[in-house]
Chains A and B, each alone.
Chain A
């Protein structure tokens, strides 16, 4: 906590001006050098793991990494991204984990590596590290995936959930109500997920299918780990969900979240949220 307070003090003190200046230069092309000069001194670092970007990263799920990094930046923190593929070393600090969807072949390629990392991931989930896993990786965060041929792919059991392969694909716009407001996204999956026990749903489907074609649940949440079938990407149009993850990441690192944004950063956050609100309004009323 004291580390963060020190840094906040610095931000509010003499360096504040420089920070605002660096914002003005963000888009001018020469921004990179400036940002680094400021960052090293004042911005508290937050470490993001982009999990399996090579094989589990379809339908624009990279957008979630960009949204978390940008929002951390605008809240006054220094995002650090670690791209972790199979066999890569785990970074020293991990404050948030983001993983995307993948095809059959992608799931197969990461299978062994994911099982090897399972104890560590489960422990981090228990410690409150926020995670966001989409579609294919969400399925593998459950207990198992039983394919249509009856093969059982083991999951890492963070969610008490099972996924069953079905013939029909669930494809289309998806809307769900949740603690993070109305969530909008796009689903595209043939595995159907059923939740059990302590794992609660992320939201209740108001349009589309979500976890499965039977109950009206969408996604899952346990501690600060969120699983969802929403592509879109999901975070840009659902900034409340993005901020939940961002704040939990800062809390994990520094004990509590403090908004370090100056007025220009705050204005940019508000602009992003207004765009997202308009985009969400449209998305909620589009055909399946």
Chain B
């Protein structure tokens, strides 16, 4: 029932400004010059001790609550916040990669430290003793709930909001609550708010923007593409294919919902988008921006990731527009000025081309070559993400393994597997099912009529059997978080794995 824990986050968006002012006033001025030194010292000690990565951040946050805001506000292009339910890590990586291709120096937080203390901890080793961060812009991936805490301390100049989907409900409660969490970041944004116009809950956040903040939408170029990208309501309302097949009848069409969905689509396509994804093919995306339509190769796989590229492009486009203004700021060093000037002259064509250089993030459509056969790792965290992944990657021509763990980081509850429709795997079957909860997954597949060749809870044994069965065939592994970490470790014993973590 009641989501008691949410009360901390349900404050009004208007309170954030006051809260930010309080945080910044709270630090006694005499302390401020010492914070970097103390922080770096604690950071050093924590690493000698082998302590948790957030610990130095915790110390600094207590000692000098204004530290984070002060440090980031010195950046000539300010801070980019990336949030939403699915695709944060990939999108953050894309934004960083595009901005770096402009020649900018970018600070970002490593995956898994997407909360305030984690951001501070990752800042400490990169600042000088005078407290200056040697970067032009910061790009931060923030969890929906932590984005509220963050914007109460730091005002982002750019915010990219991706989507709202049912994650694990025990985390945030209801989907409307998740949208309300993101409203804080939308309201706090001072420069450009970049919104996915195809997700009605995200597009609706435009009205949270403060006067003067520019709204930039990104979207899909056709209704055909929209069918590839169901939003949460569509994902959730659809019945399981197996029930339809057994009973011979589909869940009755909710005409009212259907109509409102069509109206939503119409409304979405009437919003003026700055960047559009207009076509997807295996390994290629076609993007439209400022009158130029261009097909570009993509190293990141999965149609959903290609759509995230449109969002990342919209961020880069807004930054380019601001770069020359920022070059004139007083506190900008000569080398910084050079970088900013250069970035301001980037053409639309160069920007779209830069998308092709983005490499996949850790376990997000990452491909490892084993004996010349591609093995693709696809991280699945929630029913929406799993459903999207199954739509994004066709099963034909590939052998499939599914690895499901239930450690704390994966989520202990297996219920979510029953919200995913696996019927699309029925024609090919699944080669191997593994992980602590392999039998939960196998049971799930059995009820969807998906044949499983072998179930083996031991990850190592399962991986070896999977690689040896049909050795020539490309392979794909859907895996939960801890299973992904373990499988990467296993794969690194037999293949070369790039360290593709975002500065991990």
Chain A interface residues toward B at CB < 8 A: 26-27, 29, 31-32, 35-36, 39, 53-54, 58-63, 65-67, 69-70, 73, 78-81, 83, 103-105, 107, 136, 139, 145, 147-148, 165, 167, 169, 171-173, 186, 188-191, 231-233, 236-237, 271-272, 275-276, 278-279, 281-283, 286-288
Contact A70 B2 (CB under 8 A): no
Counting contact residues on chain B (CB < 8 A from A), the size range is 35 or more
Q: Does B436 contact A (CB under 8 A)?
A: yes
**Among residues 158 to 172 in chain B, which have CB atoms less than 8 Å away from a CB atom of chain A?**
166, 169-170
Residue of A nearest to B252 (CB): A83
Q: Which residues of B contact A171 (CB under 8 A)?
A: 170
Within the complex, the shortest CB–CB distance from A114 to chain B, in Å, comes to 16
Contact A70 B1 (CB under 8 A): no
Question: Which of B318-326, B328-336, B445-453 contacts its partner?
Answer: B445-453
Q: Which residues of B contact A36 (CB under 8 A)?
A: 248
Residue of B nearest to A59 (CB): B415
Q: A66-B447, A83-B252 are in contact. Are A286 and B418 (CB under 8 A)?
A: no
Contact B444 A59 (CB under 8 A): no
Contact B1 A191 (CB under 8 A): yes
Q: Does B271 contact A (CB under 8 A)?
A: no
Q: Which residues of B contact A26 (CB under 8 A)?
A: 245, 449
Contact A173 B412 (CB under 8 A): yes
- Docked CA distance A44–B412 (Å): 39
Chain B interface residues toward A at CB < 8 A: 1-5, 166, 169-170, 173-174, 176, 237, 239-240, 242-243, 245-249, 251-252, 254, 383, 406, 412-419, 426-427, 436-437, 439-440, 442-444, 446-449, 451, 455, 457
A-B contact pairs, 7 of them (CB 8 A): A60-B419, A65-B240, A81-B251, A169-B4, A190-B4, A236-B447, A272-B446
Contact A233 B418 (CB under 8 A): yes
Contact B426 A188 (CB under 8 A): no
Residue of B nearest to A40 (CB): B248
Residue of B nearest to A58 (CB): B169
Contact A282 B439 (CB under 8 A): yes
- Docked CA distance A258–B252 (Å): 31
Q: Which residues of A contact B248 (CB under 8 A)?
A: 32, 35-36, 39
Contact A271 B437 (CB under 8 A): no
Q: A29-B427, A31-B245, A66-B243 are in contact. Are A236 and B2 (CB under 8 A)?
A: no
Query: Most A CB atoms within 10 A — which of B240, B415, B416, B447?
Result: B415
- Docked CA distance A190–B6 (Å): 13
Q: Which residues of A contact B3 (CB under 8 A)?
A: 103-104
Contact A69 B251 (CB under 8 A): no
Contact A279 B437 (CB under 8 A): yes
Q: A81-B243, A103-B174 are in contact. Are A275 and B413 (CB under 8 A)?
A: no
- Docked CA distance A53–B416 (Å): 16
Q: Which residues of B contact A191 (CB under 8 A)?
A: 1
Contact B242 A59 (CB under 8 A): no
- Docked CA distance A39–B247 (Å): 10
Instruction: Name the contact of B243 in the complex, choosing from A29, A69, A172, A287 (C-beta under 8 A).
Output: A69
- Docked CA distance A22–B249 (Å): 17
Q: Which residues of B contact A60 (CB under 8 A)?
A: 383, 415-419
Residue of B nearest to A277 (CB): B439
Q: Which residues of B contact A63 (CB under 8 A)?
A: 415, 418, 444, 447
Contact A279 B1 (CB under 8 A): no
Residue of B nearest to A236 (CB): B443
Residue of A nearest to B166 (CB): A58
Contact A282 B437 (CB under 8 A): yes
Q: A29-B427, A282-B439 are in contact. Are A147 and B2 (CB under 8 A)?
A: yes
- Docked CA distance A58–B382 (Å): 13
Within the complex, the shortest CB–CB distance from B428 to chain A, in Å, comes to 11
Within the complex, the shortest CB–CB distance from B372 to chain A, in Å, comes to 32
Within the complex, the shortest CB–CB distance from B329 to chain A, in Å, comes to 47
Contact A282 B246 (CB under 8 A): no
Contact B252 A287 (CB under 8 A): no
Residue of B nearest to A88 (CB): B252
Contact B436 A286 (CB under 8 A): yes
Contact A186 B412 (CB under 8 A): yes
Q: Which residues of B contact A78 (CB under 8 A)?
A: 247
Within the complex, the shortest CB–CB distance from B166 to chain A, in Å, comes to 8
Q: Which residues of A contact B427 (CB under 8 A)?
A: 27, 29
Q: Which residues of B contact A278 (CB under 8 A)?
A: 439, 442, 455
